[in-house]
Amino acid sequence: MNIRRLFWVLFLLNLFNYIDRQVLYAVFPLLQTDLNLSDGQLGLLAGVFMVVYICYAPITGFLADRFSRPKLISVSALVWSIATMASGAAKNFSHLLTARGLIGVGEGGFTTMAQPFLAEHYPKEKHASVLALFGLALPLGSALGYMLGGCIGHAWGWRMAFMALSVPGVFLALLAWFLPDKVRAEQTEHPTLSQYVQLVKNKPFLYVCLVQTVITFLMGGFSAWMPTYLFRYLNLNVAQAGAWFGGLVIVCGAIGTYAGGVWARHRLKTSPRAYYEVMFWALVGCIVPAWVGLWATHVYTALACFGLVIVCLFLPTGAIAAALVATTPAPVRTMAFAVNIFMIHLLGDALSPLLIGALSNTWHLKAAFLVCTLIIIPGLFFCVRASRAN
C-alpha cells in the first residue's frame, strides 16, 4: 500500500477519534433537557470515558505487541464508531454511560497503537514532522467536534449529531483492516515480562513522559477553565468566550503542531538532542505570554497572549512522539505508548481541572491559573534530564 494512503487513513481515523470524543460536550444542554440529567451526571459521562480510556491503554499495548495492529486498529475504530452511534439511540442515562465507556475502549485502543505504527513506516529523520502532521488531528478534530456537533444538534437534535458523526469511522475502520504491518510480520518472538519491566528503568522514556504530563496538565486546565476565565475577567458572554477559545485552539494549535514538527526535523540535522530542545524552548515560551495574559485587562491583549501559549503547548507534539519512538525498542513500543497515555492523562488533564477548581474556591480563578503555571519549572527540569539521559 502507498505510504501516503496509509498516512491519510490513520490521520482521518485520528480526526474522527477526536470529533466523536468531543461531540458530547457540544450537545450537553440538549442532553440535559431531553433526558433530565443533572450537572453531576453530565460530569460522569465525561469522566467515565477518561477512566476507561487510560485503563484500557495498557491492555491494548499487550495485545498490539502480539497481534496484527491494522486488525486491532480496525476493530478499535469500529467499536468507538458503533458506540457513538449507540449514544444517539440511548434511551436513558445508563445507556449513554455504557456507550461512553465503550468509546473509551475503542479510542484508547486506537491512540495507543497509531503513532508507533505510523512511525515505523517512515525514516527516523521524518518522525517528528510526520507525527506532528498526524497530531494536527487533535486541534482540528476537537474543534470540529464542537462545531459539527453543535450545528447538527441545533438543527436536527442531539441524537442525529451522534448518528451522523459515527458513520465515517465505520468506513475508515474497514480501510484500516487492510493496512500492512511490516514490523509485526518480521517479528518472530513476543515481548517478555522482563522487557516490559525495562520500560520502568528507561530514564529517557520516563522523562519524556513526565514532560508530556506537564504539557497535558496545562492543556487540560486551559481547556476546562479558560472559557470561564474569559467570561469572568474579560466581560465576554458565554457564546463569545467559547467561540474565541475554540478559534484559538484550532488556529494556534495547528500552527504550533506543524511548526514544531518542521523545527524538530531541521534541528535534528545538526543536533541529536533536537527533540528535547524543542520541548524545553516550547515550555520556556509559555511563561511570559501566560503571565502577561493573566494580568492583562484588555481583551485582545489577553487573547493574543493566550494564543501564543497555545502555540507553545502544541509545538512539541511531533518531537515528543518522535522521542518516545526513539527511546523505546520496537518489540515493546506500543506498550510504551500505552504507559505514556496512562501517565499523562492520570497525572495531567484528569488532575488539573480539579486542582484549578479547588484553588479557585480557596482564592480566585486568576490565582489558580498563575499557581498552576509554576508546573512549567519541573517540566524544564525533566527536559534537561531527558536530554542528558539519552
At 238 the pLDDT is 64
> Is 187 part of a structural domain of the chain?
no
Question: What is the reported pLDDT for 78?
Answer: 97
pLDDT of residue 187: 56
Q: Note whether 281 and 385 are same-domain residues.
A: yes
Whether residue 157 sits in one domain with residue 26: yes
Q: Which of 124, 144, 178 is the last residue of a domain?
A: 178
Asked if residue 140 and residue 225 are part of one domain, the reply reads no
| pLDDT at position 186 | 55
Q: Provide the mean pLDDT of the chain.
A: 88
Q: Assess whether 168 and 307 both reside in one domain.
A: no
Residues 292 and 146 occupy one common structural domain:
no
Q: Which range marks the domain in which residue 322 is found?
A: 201-389
What's the pLDDT at 182? 67
The set of cell numbers assigned to 221 is 486546565
Q: Are residues 233 and 94 both part of a single domain?
A: no
Please say which residue of 144, 178, 212 terminates a domain: 178
Q: Does one domain contain both 215 and 346?
A: yes
Q: What is the pLDDT of residues 311-329, one digit of tens each?
A: 999 999 999 999 999 999 8
> Is residue 191 assigned to a domain?
no
Q: Which residues of the chain have pLDDT under 50?
A: none
Q: Say if residue 88 is in the same domain as residue 15.
A: yes
Among 178, 213, 237, which residue terminates a domain? 178
Q: Check which CATH number belongs to the domain holding 361 and give it.
A: 1.20.1250.20
Are 279 and 369 found together in one domain?
Answer: yes
Spatial distance between the Cα atoms of 112 and 44, rounded to a whole number of angstroms: 23
Task: Based on the fold, state whether residues 310 and 257 are members of the same structural domain.
Answer: yes
Domain count for the chain: 2
* 94 domain-assigned: yes
Instruction: Specify if 192 maps to a domain.
Output: no
